[in-house]
Structure 1
Amino acid sequence: MVAILKWLIIFLVIARVYGGCSLRNLEVRQYDTGKLVKGYHEYAVSISNKCSELCVQRHVKLNCTGFQTVEKVQPSIFRVSGDVCVVNNGLPITSDATTNFRYAWSNSFHFNPISSDIHCYKS
């Protein structure tokens, strides 16, 4: 019984520290702006951290295998490095903050979060 109580306390402490925040709390949304750039459809992308207010996600990386664009994207906001894209220059994305960029290609690209470093502050 004591062992079960110890594990329960450890679980509760971990849950409190991390606040249930995970990579799944990164929300990537995009839409076709209706504009054409060099003959290609332009898409607006927003990447949001939907964790609790006490958690930030930094060093956010997305899978970018096959990503292409004819529209210049500011590298400090979204940088392609091989098959991985770095968001916000690796700087923290706070809860309910959004990083935005636009790209242009013949079709939209599915950006899939693959990693981030999560840091939650105690209240």
Structure 2
Amino acid sequence: MAFALKYFVVFLLLSMVSQGMCRCTFGDIQIGTVRTGKEISGQPEWKVTVTNTCKCLQKHVTLSCGGFAPVKPVEPWLLLPQGNRCLLIKGEALPAGASAEFSYAGEPYIFRLIGSTVDPSCNKSLL
């Protein structure tokens, strides 16, 4: 009985690890926002960190930004507005474990991930 239980637990753990490595999605992008403590033109400054927690690089990371109207604009190479969407780092790759950061001053805004493209060669190499 203990023998079978050990093998079941080992199988379960290996299944979870292999599935986690092969199923990168744009859901593996984490977005965090913190107040810096500075004020610009009477508005608080915010630092946004977008982190790729996937084992694969992701490109074309797109965030919601409809109604986003900062007093201190974000550099377009970091956050490029495209209607109600914003493209992070001009669509360039965000490597595994890497983060992109930008700051803005204004009302707090909740950025939501709209989409990204996972490097297809990475998922194939992990199978």
- The TM-score, its normalising length taken from structure 1, stands at 0.80
For the pair 1:25 / 2:34, whether they are aligned, the reply is: no
Q: How does 1:4-83 map to 2 (within 5 A)?
A: 19-52=22-55, 55-83=56-84
What is the CA RMSD across the aligned residues, in angstroms?
Answer: 1.8
Hey, which bits of structure 1, 4+ residues long, moved more than 6 A?
none
Residue 102 of structure 2 is matched in structure 1 by 101
Q: What is the percentage of aligned positions where both structures have the same residue? A: 28
Letter of the 2:30 counterpart: E
Letter of the 2:79 counterpart: F
Residue 4 of structure 1 is matched in structure 2 by none
Report the structure number with the largest CA radius of gyration. 2
- Higher strand proportion (structure 1 or 2): 1
- Higher helix proportion (structure 1 or 2): 2
Structure 2's unaligned 5+ residue stretches are: 1-14
- Displacement, 1:61? 0.4
Whole-angstrom distance in 2 between the partners of 1:44 and 1:75: 15
- Displacement, 1:72? 2.6
Structure 1's unaligned 5+ residue stretches are: 1-11
